[in-house]
């Protein structure tokens, strides 16, 4: 399967970011719920040992925000 897998990054109780898997360790933001961080639809999120790094575009050298590693990635497929 090539991309298109929907995931949810849970930041806390009633706080999450809906993502689409792009490939490798890269996800694209589809929506957010009750998050008070600098993330907008279309941003890219990369999973690293440091945490979840948020970028405006893939050409950025440093992230605009880092979400701590305690955030949990869950499958968000609705059938």
Tell me if 11 is assigned to some domain: yes
Tell me if 1 is assigned to some domain: no
Tell me if 24 is assigned to some domain: yes
Q: How many CB atoms lie within 10 A of CB 29?
A: 19
How confident is the model over 11-57, as pLDDT tens digits? 999 999 999 999 888 999 999 999 888 789 999 999 999 999 999 88
Q: Note down the domain range covering 32.
A: 6-75
Tell me if 66 is assigned to some domain: yes
For the chain, the domain total comes to 1
Tokens 């497929």 found at: 77
Cα separation of 69 and 41, whole Å?
21
CA atoms within a 13 Å half-sphere pointing along the CA-CB vector of 42: 2
Tell me if 21 is assigned to some domain: yes
- Model pTM score: 0.84
Sheet holding 15-23, edge to edge: 65-67, 52-55, 44-47, 26-33, 15-23, 6-12, 72-75
């Amino acid at each position: 399967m090539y991309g298109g897998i929907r995931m949810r990054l849970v930041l806390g109780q009633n706080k999450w970011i809906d993502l689409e898997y792009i490939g490798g360790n890269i996800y694209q933001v589809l929506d957010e719920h009750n998050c008070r961080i600098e993330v907008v639809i279309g941003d890219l999120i990369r999973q690293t040992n440091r945490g979840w790094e948020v970028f405006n575009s893939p050409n950025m050298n440093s992230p605009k925000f880092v979400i701590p590693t305690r955030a949990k990635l869950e499958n968000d497929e609705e059938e």
